[in-house]
Amino acid sequence: MSEIARALVVYESMYGNTARIASAICVGLRQSIPTEMVPAYRAPAVIPGDVRLLVVGGPTHAFSMSRPSTRQDASNQHGVVMPIEVGIREWLESLTADTTSTSVRRRTRVDVATFDTRIAKVRRLPGSAARSAAKVLRRLGFRVLLGSASFFVDESTGPIREIEIERARRWGEDIGQLHAASATAA
């Protein structure tokens, strides 16, 4: 008996904006595949065997994924909604160490997609947490399903506009449909 395939969305959120985007992506994904959402500090170090689609996202800090120092700075500026010790960078590092021999090299392919949140007024600056995460995941042997997506907040603490939430939901739908089509073709 085969297990039911599902998606896992792993996210990091300092002020709740990225969590809202992750939640909207889940709503879109659930149109095609059962989906679970988990913050990076609670994410499994080994990707479960029934996960066929992994979506990873976090805020862009200093042109990339956050670091302990940038999360500490964020915490000093304003109260944060998640513990600052573990972000997607640290989670991916633990995934590197713990999954190389198990889930990444397993017979079942895991597709990935990445997203980030960024401040709208500096949207044209280079660097992206999503693109950095995609590079790490690609090196681990995951198949990147499509290009990374960025969602924009008005200021570092927000707010995030409803149009961005809706765009994230549609992006989730698109990823789910693309994954379903690639799984059928495989």
CATH code, domain carrying 62 = 3.40.50.360
How many structural domains is the chain composed of? 1
Whether the link from the prior residue into 59 is cis, omega within 30° of 0, is no
Q: Is residue 180 part of a domain?
A: yes
Q: Determine, yes or no, domain membership for 117.
A: yes
User: Does 28 reside within a domain?
Assistant: yes
What would the pLDDT profile of 88-97 be if each residue is shown by its tens digit?
A: 999 999 985 4
Q: In Å, what is the CA distance from 43 to each residue of 29, 56, 144, 168?
A: 18, 11, 19, 21
Decide: helix, strand or coil at residue 155. Answer: coil
Question: In the prediction, which pLDDT does 98 show?
Answer: 44
Establish if 178 belongs to a structural domain: yes
Q: What is the pLDDT of residues 50-69, one digit of tens each?
A: 999 999 999 998 777 877 77
Q: What is the pLDDT of residue 2?
A: 52
Domain-embedded: residue 163: yes
* pTM assigned to the model: 0.89
Q: Which domain holds residue 52?
A: 6-185
The answer to whether position 1 is within a domain reads no
Average pLDDT in the 145-150 region? Answer: 93
Contact of 161 with 120, CB cutoff 8 Å? no
Identify whether 102 is part of a domain: yes
The answer to whether position 73 is within a domain reads yes
